[in-house]
A and B are shown apart, each in its own frame.
Chain A
Amino acid sequence: MRLEKYLEILPKSLWVMTCNSGSCNGCDIEIVATISPRYDIERFGMKLVGTPRHADVLVVTGPVTKYMKDRLLRIYHQIPDPKVVVVVGNCGASGDVFYKSYNLEGPVDNIIPVDVYVHGCPPRPEAIIEGVAKAVLKLEAKREELLKAGVEK
């Protein structure tokens, strides 16, 4: 018997994969701050994972350089469905000061579909957590769709 079938929430806590697509590392430091004792997202069961195979959420930082385009796509495709993409930082959301730079393929939504944008340079950890919380709702909706389509069990 799989108890999660009877639950109205996700069968598991969100596991997050991060991809730095050319960020200055500022956003990545704030992402790491979310797992520090002050913010501690692990109390919600969320955690950063080292492989897309275990992830539900892809958090992307950076404006997507030409070099990173294929890699970002590959990581995105390697995450099992349902999945959501959260862009953290102005660079990933719009390109910010690097907008229309010769070396960019981004912003992120030029490459992969984005579900949640978290603005800031860098965003505060609270904002990142709020962004991921919004992603929960999106993920639930996607999971419902898959359930209706009979893809997900």
Chain B
Amino acid sequence: MWNKVFTGFGYWDVISWLIFFFIASFFALWLRSIGRRDYKEGTEQDEIYWSGNPVPEDGAEISVPASSSYWGFRKALEPYYKVLVAMHSGHIRDYVGYYVVTAALIAALILVV
């Protein structure tokens, strides 16, 4: 049951992974144990630090989503994304069509080359 499984792509052994899991857990718990314990529970020292602001119920009220970090990339690649988004129509017949066309192109490529 616990034999090693050689998939041809890598190595999988349950016992090894369990050992790894326990070693990793030990280090994680050890790191946690050397953290500060001198804070007062139940006070503001226990609360989330939000740059001094009261913790909002909805973080979107005062923070800008990280997706905006990439607006420059999105703007630069807009023509590319427009085509891609348009291709994702949601109709299975379109996707099957892409598949058939791609398969035909690859087949032609293989047969010709």
Contact = CB atoms under 8 A, between A and B. Distances in A.
Given A80-B38, A80-B39, A81-B38, A53 B45 contact: yes
Contacts of B53: 71, 74
A71 B52 contact: yes
**Which residue of B40, B45, B53 has the most chain A CB atoms within 10 A of its CB atom?**
B45
Interface string B26-46: 000000000011111001110
Interface residues of B, number: 14
B32 to A, nearest CB: 14
Interface in A6-58: 19, 51-54
A4 to B, nearest CB: 12
Contacts of A152: 38
Given A74-B44, A78-B44, A78-B47, A19 B52 contact: yes
A74 B36 CA distance: 19
Interface of A: 19, 51-54, 68, 70-72, 74-75, 77-81, 152-153
